[in-house]
Amino acid sequence: MSTSSASTVTRFAPSPTGWIHVGNLRTALMNYLIARQNGGTFILRLDDTDQERSKQEYIDGLKADLAWLGIRYDRIEQQSKRMARYAEAAEALKAAGRFYECFETPVELDLKRKKQLNMGKPPVYDRAALALTEEQKAAYRAEGRQGYWRFKLDLERIEWTDGIIGPISIDAASVSDPVLIKADGQVLYTFASSVDDVDMGVTHIVRGADHVTNTATQIQIMKALGGTPPTFAHHSLLTGPQGEELSKRLGVLSLRDLRARGVEPMALLSLMARLGSSKPVELVSSMDELVAGFEVGSFGAAPTKFDAEDLFPLTRHHVQALPFEAVKDRIAGLGVPEAEAEAFWAVAKGNITILDDLGPWWTLFRDGAEPVIDEADRDFVRQALALLPAQPWTTATWGEWTATVKEATGRKGKDLFRPLRRALTGRDAGPEMADVMPLLRKLPGV
């Protein structure tokens, strides 16, 4: 997929009928990166022609998700505001003989498909509606039937070079003439999208491999509208970690849910920008770095395994590398005194995966831990705590105290250190205890 001009225009065209998920993000990100690589235009286009299912809350959620990720669109379009343009385009196609009205019911169409399959033929619409007279159409309307509109395909091979899959050739005779306007007047995606892509000068489209056949019909629609089809690329579809179908789980893989789980934007973007490509997944530090390293041609068409748990190691690496300035407001929000905030971050950051993990660490330092003490160690811990000097404690306190305890009890190594760590923090592992001691405010009750 060659991109080399500021005239590059890409788009992300979600339907605001639910919360966007990782599959949507993959498409949005690829189109965004192509636009940014070329100083072009990235359009957010809301496919909201289904007014019953489209909701403002999903539009607001979509905008919030993109803002969280740092994906900035240059302008926003709404298909529901372009209905007059679609009606105008439909009239032009009718006049050109490329739009025709049909009246078959879903039951009748299903019977036709079954009959064709039983005869060993592909279940392609037979174009019976083309033979209808005006009197027959009027009779159908008198019965209460409402007509819907199909696009008449030219029965030829539709060919293009896909930016990911490579050369594609589809025989239009093997595809049904697509329904573009439903009987209730709803303009369907295939038509509205084609009109928009032509009108908005879209030059590059990246989308899922499930759209390949749809692309073939849209190429003909765009040409019939007098437009030049953009360069297409079809990325692989995501599966679960075991290769299972992911579509049933996408509801729990919404961006808002991943954000609520503490996933960091750069972790999610780093994975999505490389997953399914020949390049290794690496945590990147900025959107500029993602833009510079993106190559749509490095992706494959085979189904790609996605495991949300892979986001957490990337999130951990990102979070632990953050400078204090990036987290000081969050730490202040926990109630950490300003004088202790930087020391708290230095101690806690190596022991968290998500930023929400900071809260339990401050609670431990502020309120003391629920001690974990084996019965065999209880007397030892009591004796050790009696030897602990009075506060304030410093980074030297741990070493001095454990040396005193060692001399008094004869314990050493893990038999000395582990019970004391568990008594003070309630944990088997964590930050260096020398660094923890100055932050501890309360001792456990033993």
CA 313 to chain centre: 17
343-370 pLDDT, tens per residue?
999 999 999 999 999 999 999 999 998 9
The percentage of residues in the chain with a pLDDT greater than 70, rounded to a whole number, is 97
- State residue 187 phi and psi, 5-degree precision: -80, 125
Query: How far apart, in whole angstroms, are the C-alpha atoms of residue 250 and residue 256?
Result: 12
Q: What's the pLDDT at 243? A: 84
Q: What's the pLDDT at 442? A: 83
Provide the pLDDT confidence category of residue 151 given band limits of 50, 70 and 90. very high
Q: What tokens appear for 256 in the block? A: 């808002």
Task: Provide Rg for the chain, Cα atoms.
Answer: 31
In the predicted structure, residue 54 carries a pLDDT above the cut 90: yes
Element (H, E) at 90: helix 83-95
Q: What's the pLDDT at 290? A: 96
Closest CA to 204 of 49, 27, 62, 78: 27
Closest CA to 308 of 227, 359, 251, 392: 251
Name the CA dihedral angle for 349, 350, 351, 357, rounded to a multiple of 10 degrees.
20
> Are the beta carbons of 21 and 251 closer than 8 angstroms?
yes
**How many Å from the N-terminal Cα to the C-terminal Cα in the chain?**
68
- State residue 238 phi and psi, 5-degree precision: -85, 145
Exposed e or buried b per residue across 30-63, where buried means at least 16 C-beta atoms within 10 angstroms of its C-beta: bbbbbbbbbebbbbbbbbbbbeeebeeebbebbe
Cβ atoms within 10 Å, residue 248: 9
Provide the pLDDT confidence category of residue 244 given band limits of 50, 70 and 90. confident
Range name among 36-50, 138-152, 247-261, 362-376 with the lowest pLDDT average: 247-261
In the predicted structure, residue 146 carries a pLDDT above the cut 90: yes
In the predicted structure, residue 112 carries a pLDDT above the cut 70: yes
Q: What pairing do the DSSP bridges indicate for beta strands 99-102 and 148-151?
A: antiparallel
Q: What tokens appear for 371 in the block? A: 């001690």
Provide the pLDDT confidence category of residue 3 given band limits of 50, 70 and 90. very low
CA 204 to chain centre: 20
Average pLDDT taken over every residue of the chain: 94
What is the side-by-side order of every strand in the sheet holding 99-102?
Answer: 99-102, 148-151, 179-181
In the predicted structure, residue 136 carries a pLDDT above the cut 60: yes
Question: Residues 391-406: what's their mean pLDDT?
Answer: 96
Global pTM exceeds 0.75: yes
Written as one string, the DSSP assignment of 42-75 is: EEEEE----TTT--HHHHHHHHHHHHHHT---SE
Question: Residues 8-37: what's their mean pLDDT?
Answer: 96
SS (H, E, C) 380-432: HHHHHHHCCCCCCCCCCHHHHHHHHHHHHHCCCCHHHHHHHHHHHHCCCCCCC
Closest CA to 236 of 278, 202, 174: 278
In the predicted structure, residue 215 carries a pLDDT above the cut 50: yes
> Are the beta carbons of 313 and 340 closer than 8 angstroms?
no
**Widest CA span of the chain, in angstroms?**
108
> Are the beta carbons of 424 and 443 closer than 8 angstroms?
yes
**Residue 331, strand partner residues:** none
In the predicted structure, residue 395 carries a pLDDT above the cut 80: yes
**What is the DSSP code (8-state) at residue 86?**
H
Q: What's the pLDDT at 241? A: 87
Question: Residues 33-61: what's their mean pLDDT?
Answer: 95
Query: How far apart, in whole angstroms, are the C-alpha atoms of residue 140 and residue 148?
Result: 12
63-105 pLDDT, tens per residue?
999 999 999 999 999 999 999 999 999 999 999 999 999 999 9
**Residue 207, strand partner residues:** 234
334-347 pLDDT, tens per residue?
999 999 999 999 99
In the predicted structure, residue 5 carries a pLDDT above the cut 60: no
In the predicted structure, residue 437 carries a pLDDT above the cut 60: yes
**Can you tell me whether residue 148 is helix, strand or coil?**
strand
> Are the beta carbons of 176 and 237 closer than 8 angstroms?
no
Query: How far apart, in whole angstroms, are the C-alpha atoms of residue 172 and residue 154?
Result: 7
Q: What tokens appear for 289 in the block? A: 């770095």
Backbone conformation region of residue 6, classed left if phi is above 0, alpha if psi is from -120 to 50, else beta: alpha
Sequence-ordered list of residues with C-beta below 8 angstroms from that of 175, at least 6 positions apart, any chain: 124, 153, 213, 216, 217
Q: Which residue has the tokens 């032009």?
A: 92
Would the CA dihedral through 300, 305, 310, 311 be positive or negative? positive
Q: What's the pLDDT at 1? A: 53
Query: How far apart, in whole angstroms, are the C-alpha atoms of residue 130 and residue 136?
Result: 11
